Amino acid sequence: MHLSDFSQAVSLKHLCGPTADDFDGVYVGDLLSRAMSHIQAGNLWITIMNNINVVAVASLTEAAAVILAENVSLTPDVFEAANEKGIAIYSSCESAYDLCVSIAKSADEHQ
């Protein structure tokens, strides 16, 4: 799957880290212990959690990218950490649910 397949539909905004495109599967959730043990390498992680610990979890799980739902923004320390650790972070005004709907739709269209 590719971010570029649905980025327009959800007004995806690149916040920090490298840009990403390819990903393989999606994980949605905000509890870090759950995310830590359920995100698979290459997953896209959708969350509303925006503190610095998101960067460590994304790095440890090798998530392909993070999308912050509901227009959640980042503080400069997270920005810096994501750049340093090479974690691609995006934001969208959509809810986690609507993001998933758009991703599923684009996956169908691009099959």
Partner 1 sequence: MRVTNMSEAIRFHFDVDGENFSSAGEASVMVKKKLRQLGFSPDVMRRVSIAMYEGEINMVIHAHGGTADVIVGEDAIEIILADKGPGIPDINKAMQEGFSTASDNIRALGFGAGMGLPNMKKYTDYMQIDTEIGVGTTITMRVNY
Does the footprint of partner 1 cover residue 25 (CB under 8 A)?
no
Closest to partner 1 by CB, 56 or 107: 56
| Minimum distance from residue 38 beta carbon to partner 1 (Å) | 10
Of these, 10, 26, 44, 81, which contacts partner 1 (CB under 8 A)?
81
Q: Are 67 and 45 in contact (CB under 8 A)?
A: yes
Q: Which residues bind partner 1 (CB under 8 A)?
A: 30-37, 41, 49, 51-54, 56-57, 59-61, 77, 81, 85
